[in-house]
């Protein structure tokens, strides 16, 4: 079963007027991981798409998505897949890849229908592509590891870069995940914006009662949302994206836009946030 929800782009002037429920309706992705279903959110931020696939004992195939008006979803797109569940299997373009928890698979433009099997919980992100790059399965040991932050400021963390120029080739999709060191709670602090790219976060590895206080909005007009496990945030180019969590959590970040330069960002110091 496939379901697709469309999210239109929101101007920052509009976002300033939104209450809690409106913010969640426009920027939060919930219920992405339903047993036996593929659920997608098709956004008008760089035509970025995110979602989840949970085979639940029977194969699931992602093929035609009406919103793209193409023969198959990946005819003019690339895709990143992160397994946040048990061992699973992904098949496409005549190949198959076994994926453990935390593994990342990149599928290039033209891969055709994609089939998901096994005990995996597959997080999917996709962006338009202009050329076909090689498919690749990337294990955590193959990711580029970057350590940032300090224990004194409660933001010591490890950034694992998977779909990234230092690791592999893609068109515009960049993806990785950040793990907080025990005792640290803040991610992406100092905050930043990057007007040339949008971004999406998926928070996972949390206990059912835990929450992340996710900060968004213009630097001088910040807003917040309380995020539960396996919920995603759509972050427009004009918005900061930062947060602090209760207990252990990991977040998957994925970006699409004009470039793949991970360092292309404009920092905003805490003293300048309002």
* 240-255: pLDDT as tens digits: 999 999 988 999 999 9
From 122, 138, 154, give the residue that closes a domain: 138
Compare 31 and 257 and report the one with higher pLDDT.
31
**Does residue 268 form part of some domain?**
yes
162 and 186 housed in the same domain: yes
pLDDT in tens, 109-125: 999 999 999 999 999 99
The pLDDT tens digits for 183-218 are: 899 998 888 888 888 999 999 999 999 999 999 999
C-alpha 17/C-alpha 25 separation (Å) is: 14
Quick one: tokens of 209?
């009662």
Q: Is residue 223 part of a domain?
A: yes
Confidence class for position 99, pLDDT limits 50, 70, 90: very high
**How many structural domains are present in the chain?**
2
214 is in an annotated binding site: no
Taking Cα atoms as reference points, which of 96, 153, 155, 144 lies closest to residue 120?
96
Kindly state whether residue 35 falls inside one of the protein's structural domains: yes
Residue 135 assigned ligand-binding role:
no
Tokens of 261: 């330069």
Residue range 42-90, pLDDT digits in tens = 999 999 999 999 999 999 999 999 999 999 999 999 999 999 999 999 9
44 annotated as a binding-site residue: no
The pLDDT of residue 227 is 97
Q: What is the pLDDT at residue 261?
A: 75
Task: Give the end of a domain, one of 119, 138, 157.
Answer: 138
41 lies in the same domain as 80:
yes
- Let me know whether 45 and 156 are in one domain: no
Same domain as 131, residue 42: yes
131 and 6, same structural domain?
Answer: yes
pLDDT at 225: 97
Token output for 22: 């409106």
Tens-digit pLDDT profile for residues 11-29: 999 999 999 999 999 999 9
Strand partners, 79: 107, 126
pLDDT of residue 15: 95
Q: Are residues 69 and 176 in the same domain?
A: no
Residues 210 and 236 in one domain: yes
Let me know whether 175 and 220 are in one domain. yes
Let me know whether 112 and 194 are in one domain: no
Average pLDDT over the chain reads 95
DSSP 133: -
- Among residues 138, 166, 193, the one where a domain terminates is 138
Range of the domain at 112: 2-10+31-138
pTM exceeds 0.85: yes
CATH number of the CATH domain containing 65: 2.60.120.10
Judge whether 25 lies within some domain.
Answer: no
Per-residue burial over 149-172, b = 16 or more CB atoms within 10 Å of its CB, e = otherwise: beeeeebbbbbbbbbbeebbebbb
Q: Is 18 part of a structural domain of the chain?
A: no
Q: Is residue 23 part of a domain?
A: no
The verdict on 115 and 176 lying in the same domain is no
Domain identity same for 147 and 242: yes
pLDDT at 196: 85
For residue 262, pLDDT over 80 is answered with no
- Work out the average pLDDT over 263-271: 84
152 part of a folded domain: yes
Residue 7 reports pLDDT greater than 90: yes
Angstrom distance (rounded) from CA 52 to CA 40: 7
Structure confidence at residue 33 (pLDDT): 98
**64, 179: one domain:** no
* Assigned domain for 16 exists: no
């Amino acid at each position: 079963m496939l379901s697709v929800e469309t999210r239109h782009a929101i101007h920052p002037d509009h976002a300033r007027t939104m209450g809690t429920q409106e913010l969640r309706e426009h920027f939060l992705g919930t219920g992405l991981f339903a047993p036996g279903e593929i659920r997608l959110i098709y956004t008008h931020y760089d035509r970025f798409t995110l979602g989840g696939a949970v085979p639940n004992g029977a194969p699931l195939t992602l093929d035609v998505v009406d919103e793209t008006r193409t023969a198959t979803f990946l005819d003019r797109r690339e895709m990143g897949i992160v397994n946040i569940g048990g061992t699973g299997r992904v098949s496409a373009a005549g190949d198959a890849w076994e994926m453990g928890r935390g593994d990342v698979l990149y599928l290039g433009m033209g891969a055709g229908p994609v089939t998901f099997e096994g005990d995996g919980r597959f997080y999917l992100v996709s962006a338009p592509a202009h050329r076909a790059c090689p498919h690749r399965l990337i294990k955590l040991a193959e990711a580029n590891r970057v350590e940032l932050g300090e224990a004194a400021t409660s933001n010591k963390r490890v950034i694992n870069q998977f779909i990234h120029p230092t690791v592999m080739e893609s068109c515009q999709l960049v993806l990785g995940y950040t793990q907080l060191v025990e005792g640290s709670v803040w991610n992406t602090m100092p905050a930043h914006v990057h007007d040339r790219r949008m971004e999406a976060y998926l928070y996972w590895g949390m206990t059912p009662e835990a929450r992340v206080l996710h900060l968004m909005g213009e630097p001088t007009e910040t807003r917040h949302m309380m995020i539960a496990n396996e919920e995603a945030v759509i972050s427009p180019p004009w918005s900061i994206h930062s947060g602090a969590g209760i207990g252990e959590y990991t977040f998957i970040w994925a970006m699409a836009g004009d470039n793949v330069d991970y360092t292309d960002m404009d920092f905003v110091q805490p003293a300048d946030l309002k």
